[in-house]
């Protein structure tokens, strides 16, 4: 995530703090200082830091459980709205998905129980007094952990409860149907939350909008996975396109750029193997600073691993998304360039599959 600082690393996962979180801390400290002076500012900051420590431990609940199933998590980012752990993928087995989803809230349950044991007691009414400084730091922290559990178990994406619902439904009706139903229930909950918000807390309306958009996004993602099931890269790739030879000059590259509607060009060697990729903006940037006879290979982007034509399409898309690459060269088993995958032809494939789900367009 951009605008974030790495503050440490635990078991291969970088802990990042987003800049907005630091601004949020400063704002909390400043407003507490104006209300009650230095002592109150320090106590407020201590409380928020402890609270976010609990949020971080919650995320590590997910991270360590996912790791048991062989799923790595490159980083976890703290934002003012909570923590975001970037798991490489969600486990496909419903039982594992359920375990990963529950592991986060389970951490807060344990923390709350430990704090209540330490305190001796916690009145149920205190749970609603998280912001009341009269309650004492530990009691407020215990309440906050209970609130985190309740909030996260709302059965709507992106909350953990949405994942739990999806995992449980998947066991009975399969992941695709389960995603549609879970997304619909999530959106239903968003409506209820938003409606309640109209009569009381405006914050609820904000959360409702957030939940609604997230649920729609998950449903769309599931639909795409469904549409692309069984397809390989070769089924969707572009096969009519121009390439630029590695030894071509910048001048020749400009000719090819003008002659075609393409914006991305694989750069190939004499054996038709891709050795790089050059984008329109790379050519333009090179024009400003380089000479006419500069070789294309000297200004092309590093060759990244080409996609194999027989790779599942969905796996290729996950790779593209993770690496933020706009286009890919596709190679056959001899490493020769046979196609290109771009967001445009992926979108075309999606439209075609949605229009005629029962038709087969396989090329492989
Ligand atoms: Zn969680």
- pLDDT at 1 exceeding the cut of 60: no
The Å distance, Cα 223 to ligand 1 centre, comes to 24
Say what the pLDDT of residue 60 is: 93
Instruction: Report the pLDDT averaged over residues 214-233.
Output: 79
The Å distance, Cα 85 to ligand 1 centre, comes to 9
The Å distance, Cα 263 to ligand 1 centre, comes to 40
Say what the pLDDT of residue 231 is: 86
The Å distance, Cα 333 to ligand 1 centre, comes to 41
The Å distance, Cα 149 to ligand 1 centre, comes to 9
Lowest mean pLDDT, pick from 42-56, 151-165, 202-216, 241-255:
202-216
The Å distance, Cα 156 to ligand 1 centre, comes to 12
The Å distance, Cα 73 to ligand 1 centre, comes to 14
Tokens 């496909």 identify what position?
A: 92
Say what the pLDDT of residue 113 is: 92
Task: Give, for 177, the enclosing helix (H) or strand (E).
Answer: helix 175-199
Question: If we measure between CA atoms, which residue out of 275, 203, 290, 207 comes closest to residue 243?
Answer: 275
The Å distance, Cα 103 to ligand 1 centre, comes to 8
Give 175 or 243, the one with higher predicted confidence. Answer: 243
Cα(183)–Cα(128) distance, integer angstroms: 29
The Å distance, Cα 247 to ligand 1 centre, comes to 52
Map out the domains of the chain with their CATH numbers.
1-152 (no CATH), 154-227 (no CATH), 233-355 (3.10.580.10)
The Å distance, Cα 218 to ligand 1 centre, comes to 16
Say what the pLDDT of residue 122 is: 67
DSSP readout, 62-74?
HHHHHHHTT----
For residues 108, 110, 111, 113, the Cα torsion angle rounded to the nearest 10 degrees is 120
- Cβ neighbours, 10 Å, residue 124: 8
**Residue 76 · residue 88 · CB < 8 Å:** no
Cα(235)–Cα(52) distance, integer angstroms: 46
The Å distance, Cα 84 to ligand 1 centre, comes to 8
**Residue 138 · residue 115 · CB < 8 Å:** yes
The Å distance, Cα 198 to ligand 1 centre, comes to 27
The Å distance, Cα 272 to ligand 1 centre, comes to 48
The Å distance, Cα 332 to ligand 1 centre, comes to 41
**Residue 142 · residue 119 · CB < 8 Å:** yes
The Å distance, Cα 160 to ligand 1 centre, comes to 5
Q: How far is CA 57 from CA 54, 63, 207, 308, in A?
A: 5, 9, 23, 39
- pLDDT at 235 exceeding the cut of 60: yes
pTM confidence score: 0.66
Say what the pLDDT of residue 130 is: 61
The Å distance, Cα 354 to ligand 1 centre, comes to 33
The Å distance, Cα 348 to ligand 1 centre, comes to 35
Cα(34)–Cα(14) distance, integer angstroms: 35
Per-residue model confidence as pLDDT tens digits over 246-264? 899 999 999 999 999 988 8
Per-residue model confidence as pLDDT tens digits over 283-328? 999 999 888 888 998 888 876 667 888 888 888 887 777 666 677 8
The Å distance, Cα 101 to ligand 1 centre, comes to 6
The Å distance, Cα 16 to ligand 1 centre, comes to 17
The Å distance, Cα 82 to ligand 1 centre, comes to 9
Per-residue model confidence as pLDDT tens digits over 37-73? 888 788 888 888 898 899 999 999 999 999 999 888 8
**Residue 75 · residue 13 · CB < 8 Å:** yes
Per-residue model confidence as pLDDT tens digits over 84-141? 888 887 888 899 999 999 999 999 999 999 998 988 776 666 666 666 666 678 888 8
CA 221 to chain CA mean position, Å: 12
Which tokens sit at 13?
Answer: 């996962």
Angle between the N-to-C axes of helices 94-119 and 160-173, in degrees from 0 to 180, rounded to the nearest 10: 140
Say what the pLDDT of residue 364 is: 54
The Å distance, Cα 50 to ligand 1 centre, comes to 17
The number of residues in the chain equals 364
For residues 336, 342, 344, 349, the Cα torsion angle rounded to the nearest 10 degrees is 60
**Residue 322 · residue 336 · CB < 8 Å:** no
The Å distance, Cα 56 to ligand 1 centre, comes to 10
Which of the residue ranges 8-17, 205-214, 354-363 has the most confident prediction, judged by mean pLDDT?
Answer: 8-17
The residues, any chain, with a CB within 8 Å of residue 186's CB and separated by 6 or more, are 155, 156, 157, 162, 165, 211, 212, 214, 215, 218
The Å distance, Cα 55 to ligand 1 centre, comes to 8
Give 65 or 1, the one with higher predicted confidence. Answer: 65
The Å distance, Cα 327 to ligand 1 centre, comes to 33
- pLDDT at 24 exceeding the cut of 90: no
């Amino acid at each position: 995530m951009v605008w974030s600082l790495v503050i440490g690393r635990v078991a291969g996962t970088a802990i990042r703090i987003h800049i907005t979180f630091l601004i949020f801390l400063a704002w909390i400290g400043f407003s507490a200082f104006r209300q009650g002076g230095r002592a109150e500012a320090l106590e407020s900051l201590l409380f928020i830091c402890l609270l976010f420590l609990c949020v971080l431990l919650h995320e590590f609940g997910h991270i360590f459980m996912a790791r048991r199933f062989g799923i790595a998590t490159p980083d976890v980012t703290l934002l003012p709205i909570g923590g975001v752990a970037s798991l490489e993928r969600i486990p496909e087995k419903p039982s594992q998905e359920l375990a990963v989803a529950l592991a986060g809230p389970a951490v807060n349950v344990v923390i709350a129980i430990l704090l209540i044991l330490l305190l001796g007691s916690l009145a149920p009414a205190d749970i609603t007094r998280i912001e009341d400084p009269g309650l004492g730091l530990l009691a407020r922290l215990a309440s906050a952990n209970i609130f985190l559990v309740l909030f996260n178990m709302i059965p709507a994406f992106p909350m953990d409860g949405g994942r739990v619902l999806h995992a449980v439904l998947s066991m009975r009706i399969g992941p695709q149907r389960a995603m549609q139903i879970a997304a619909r229930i999530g959106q239903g909950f968003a409506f209820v939350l938003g409606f309640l918000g109209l009569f009381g807390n405006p914050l609820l309306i904000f959360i409702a909008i957030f939940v609604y958009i997230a649920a729609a996004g998950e449903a769309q993602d599931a639909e795409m996975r469904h549409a692309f099931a069984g397809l390989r890269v070769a089924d969707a790739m572009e096969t009519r396109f121009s390439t630029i030879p590695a030894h071509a000059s910048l001048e020749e590259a400009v000719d090819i750029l003008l002659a075609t509607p393409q914006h991305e060009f694989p750069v190939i060697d004499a054996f038709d193997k891709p050795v790089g990729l050059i984008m329109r903006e790379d050519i333009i940037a090179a024009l400003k600073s380089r000479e006419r006879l500069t070789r294309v290979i000297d200004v092309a982007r590093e060759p990244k691993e080409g996609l194999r034509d027989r790779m599942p399409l969905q796996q290729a898309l996950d790779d593209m998304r993770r690496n933020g690459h706009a286009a890919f060269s596709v190679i056959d088993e001899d490493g020769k360039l046979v196609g290109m995958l771009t967001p445009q032809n992926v979108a075309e494939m999606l439209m075609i599959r949605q229009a005629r789900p029962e038709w087969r367009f396989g090329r492989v």
